[in-house]
Amino acid sequence: MRKRFASVPLAVVATFLILLFSIVQHLPGGEAFVTRIGVVKAALPLDVSLLRTPLSLYVPALDLPVWGALAQVLLVFGIAEIVLGRRTTLLIAYACTLAGTIYARIGVSLGPDHLFGFPGAVAHMRDTGPSAAVVALAICIAWKTRAWFTGAVVLGAMLGEAVVVPNLAGQEHMVAIATAVLIAATGEVFGSYWSRVLSGVRAARLISTERQRTA
């Protein structure tokens, strides 16, 4: 069991942080502490939101069971860490969470009369949790492994959620999916290109070195 957990340290650490924040924010004075370091709201200054966003990913909702978030993160982050790599998993999780955070601010500024806008009250709602990162990683895993049916199921479920329950979380999930698709497509197009370029540079250096030695 230890060896299995050691193979996915990022997933284990992320799961532990969610559990830790869940416990702390239910302690006396804990909610205020967690709010100061990891709760993001659209009403906050942008620099404060950007500083808190990395930790906001691990702050679960107060009114939802934490066990679901723990299971999702351990499973999806673990698979992503194996399939995509540790750095890529962290990059996708943070980028898609940040995209949702920025979208919330844009939506509030657009107002409720706009198709993609929100009422002003949304600016004071907690915008935390790992769900956007989990959805984005699921899409990237499906893309990488060519599991198109699984990707379509995730997309359909999130689209249905956004239509049936048109709230901030549902809209941010769609933004996370769009960001994940953009990242996956960019990696598909340019990933192999840059690896070939680097291989060519290394080969040119080796040829140059051999010629110098021969001379």
Domain count, the chain: 1
User: Can you list the residues of the chain whose pLDDT is less than 70?
Assistant: 1-7, 191-201, 203-204, 208, 210-212, 214-215
Q: What is the pLDDT of residue 22?
A: 93
Q: pTM of the entire structure?
A: 0.84
3-state SS string for the chain: CHHHHHCCHHHHHHHHHHHHHHHHCCCCCHHHHHHHHHCCCCCCCHHHHHHHHHHHCCCCCCCCCHHHHHHHHHHHHHHHHHHCCHHHHHHHHHHHHHHHHHHHHHHHHHCCCCCCCCCHHHHHCCCCCCHHHHHHHHHHHHHHHCCHHHHHHHHHHHHHHHHHCCCHHHHHHHHHHHHHHHHHHHHHHHHHHHHHHHHHHHHHHHHHHHHHHHC
- Residue 138: the pLDDT is 96
Q: What per-residue confidence (pLDDT) applies to 7?
A: 57
Nearest by Cα to 151 from 137, 164, 163, 162:
137
Distance in angstroms (rounded) separating the CA atoms of residues 106 and 70:
30
3-state secondary structure of 167: coil
Can you give the pLDDT at residue 211?
A: 67
Per-residue confidence (pLDDT) for residue 189, from 0 to 100: 75
* Domain of residue 188, CATH code: 1.20.1540.10
- pLDDT the model gives residue 98: 93
Could you tell me the residue range of the domain that residue 94 belongs to?
2-214
pLDDT of residue 172: 92
Half-sphere exposure of 180 (CA within 13 A, CB side): 32
